[in-house]
Amino acid sequence: MRLLITALFFALVAVPSSAMSLKDFDARPDKEQSAYIADFIDKMTTDLRVKNLQLATDIRNWFAVKQDGKPLSQGMERLGVELAALESLARDGKVDLSKIEVEGVIVKVVKDKFPPPAR
């Protein structure tokens, strides 16, 4: 199980050439941003479902199921916090959004929430 989760995260970091920078992502309308995120999460969990159905379901639900009384799911809320932090750092000149991929940020928040088991 530990190897599977670790392999998933390394596979996701090596995102296909269609990966999008945060700079390009920010230039898109909100609706396109949401669709892009949903598509990536769908692909990620579809690939994982073959080997670990429970983890794939947990990840999908974390991003898709809205919290009671809130407009967003926990996963989307966490992703929004990470994106806002990166944009703040970019305004301060500390990061270059053209060099950070949206998919990498998604993988980071997933890994933070569902860390691979310790060895």
pLDDT of residue 59: 97
- Confidence class of residue 90 from pLDDT cuts 50, 70 and 90? very high
8 Å CB contact between 62 and 75 = yes
Name the residue type at position 114: F
Listed in order, strand segments (DSSP E) in 5-110 are none
| Tokens at 17, concatenated | 């050439």
Q: For 32-85, how does the pLDDT look when each residue is reduced to its tens digit (9 = 90+)? A: 999 999 999 999 999 999 999 999 999 999 999 999 999 999 999 999 999 999
> What are the boundaries of each domain within the chain?
2-113
